[in-house]
């Protein structure tokens, strides 16, 4: 079966939403736990960007890791582990003419790094 044949039951918008969800879940669970400091945050952001850009339908990845939270969570060891509340990410997926932007950001009230579709 060709890749496209798997998605005949989805509209372009639905598939762009699906692929955005997949890649956001992938990014979170692949990279959470990685050792990170303010010195290494840039190379980690680049590796996340490059690897997620490989995934189906992804045309743009914008990753910012919260440096203040890295500093706050780093004790005497000088580094910490990447956590979900440090992630501010926008993934753009495109299927034909339909473009969707999937986001993650930490919601203090929910105590939860929520993933959603931008208007």
Provide the mask over 77-116, with x wherever binding to its own copies is found by CB under 8 A and - wherever it is not.
xxxxx-xx-----------------x----x-xxxx-xxx
Strand ranges inside the chain, DSSP E = 35-36, 58-65, 80-81, 87-95, 98-107, 112-117
Beta carbon of residue 6, minimum distance to its own copies (angstroms, whole number): 4
Q: What is the dihedral of CA 21, 25, 30, 35, to 10 degrees?
A: 110
List the structure tokens of 114: 């929520």
Report the site for its own copies in 11-70 (rule: CB under 8 A): 13-14, 17-30, 32-37, 39-40, 43-44, 46-56
Beta carbon of residue 87, minimum distance to its own copies (angstroms, whole number): 11
Quick one: 75 or 97, whose CB is closer to its own copies?
Answer: 75
Q: Contact 106/113 with Cβ under 8 angstroms?
A: yes
Count other C-beta atoms under 10 Å from residue 42's C-beta: 11
For its own copies, the binding residues (CB under 8 A) are 1, 3, 6-7, 9-10, 13-14, 17-30, 32-37, 39-40, 43-44, 46-56, 73-81, 83-84, 102, 107, 109-112, 114-117, 119
């Amino acid at each position: 079966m060709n890749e496209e044949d798997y998605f005949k039951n989805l509209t372009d918008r639905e598939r762009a939403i699906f692929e955005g969800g997949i890649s956001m879940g992938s990014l979170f669970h692949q990279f959470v736990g990685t050792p990170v400091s303010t010195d290494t945050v840039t190379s980690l952001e680049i590796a996340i960007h490059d690897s997620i850009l490989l995934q189906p339908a992804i045309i743009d990845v914008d990753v910012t890791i919260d440096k203040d939270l890295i500093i706050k969570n780093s004790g005497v060891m000088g580094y910490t582990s990447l956590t979900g509340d440090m992630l501010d990410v926008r993934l753009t997926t495109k299927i034909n003419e339909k473009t969707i932007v999937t986001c993650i950001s930490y919601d203090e009230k929910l105590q939860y790094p929520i993933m959603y579709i931008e208007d």
